[in-house]
């Protein structure tokens, strides 16, 4: 998904997908990959978007993907941040770069983290994957790993999601 520069999408009809992303996810799902969405939703955490509006956007996104045959196992969207609307609240295990999403998928869905891949454009996503023992693929879309938050060296650095999925698939380095 492409986010507006320095912003967020508040309605699904404003969402734009990186070219080839949906096709890549469809083919990955057809190949047996378990697909998860994860991310920090700072727009909600800092009050720029209501939780109800986010939930509607997320449901529309998931329905859009399901309608295209993309099987999303779970969506891990962290809507809180201790520096956000509720200062002093404890740090969520799902707030990236924490690893709560990965370990939840391991415990509930039986995911083998050492054989799994985290593909992302943010260092927060990739560092969470690294901390959980996953393989890492960075993409040059969105933040393009230039957010400057953390240092991380992905095994794959690809043009976009489609190129990352193709490179991982070519090496047959996935867990089914």
Whole-structure pTM value: 0.90
Q: Sorting pLDDT into bands at 50, 70 and 90, what band is 103?
A: very high
Place of tokens 């992302």: 120
5, part of any domain:
no
Show the domain range for 49.
18-170
pLDDT class for 174, splitting at 50, 70, 90?
very low
CATH of the domain at 54: 3.40.50.1000
Can you read off the two tokens belonging to residue 156?
Answer: 């794959």
Asked if residue 91 has pLDDT above 90, the reply is: no
Residue 39 inside a domain? The answer is: yes
What is the chain's mean pLDDT, rounded?
Answer: 91
* Per-residue pLDDT at 172 exceeds 80: no
Residue 53 maps to a domain: yes
Whether residue 130 lies inside any domain: the answer is yes
Classify residue 38: in a domain, yes or no.
yes
- Are 2 and 41 in contact by the 8 Å Cβ rule? The answer is no
Ramachandran category for residue 70: left, alpha or beta (phi over 0 → left; psi -120 to 50 → alpha): beta
Tell me if 9 is assigned to some domain.
no
Under 8 Å CB-to-CB from 14, ≥6 apart: which residues?
4
| Mean pLDDT, residues 150-155 | 94
pLDDT score for 134: 98
Look at 150 and 90; give whichever has higher pLDDT.
150
The Cβ of residue 13 has, within 10 Å, a number of other Cβ atoms equal to 7
What confidence tier does 171 reach under pLDDT thresholds 50, 70, 90? confident
Residue 6 forms part of a structural domain: no
* Total number of domains in the chain: 1
Structural domain contains residue 2: no
pLDDT for 4: 46
């Amino acid at each position: 998904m492409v986010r507006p520069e320095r912003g967020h999408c508040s309605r699904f009809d404003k969402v734009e997908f990186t070219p080839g992303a949906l096709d890549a996810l469809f083919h990955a799902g057809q190949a047996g990959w378990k697909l998860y969405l994860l991310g920090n939703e700072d727009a909600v955490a800092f009050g720029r978007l209501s939780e109800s509006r986010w939930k509607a956007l997320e449901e529309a996104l998931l329905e859009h993907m399901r309608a295209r045959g993309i099987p999303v196992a779970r969506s891990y969207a962290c809507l809180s941040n201790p520096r956000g609307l509720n200062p002093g609240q404890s740090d969520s295990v799902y707030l990236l770069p924490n690893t709560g999403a990965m370990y939840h998928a391991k415990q509930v869905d039986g995911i083998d983290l050492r054989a799994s891949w985290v593909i992302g454009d943010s260092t927060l996503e990739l560092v969470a994957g690294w901390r959980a023992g996953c393989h890492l693929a960075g993409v040059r879309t969105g933040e393009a790993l230039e957010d400057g938050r953390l240092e991380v060296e992905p095994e794959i650095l690809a043009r976009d999601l489609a190129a990352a999925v193709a490179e991982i698939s070519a090496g047959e380095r996935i867990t089914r």
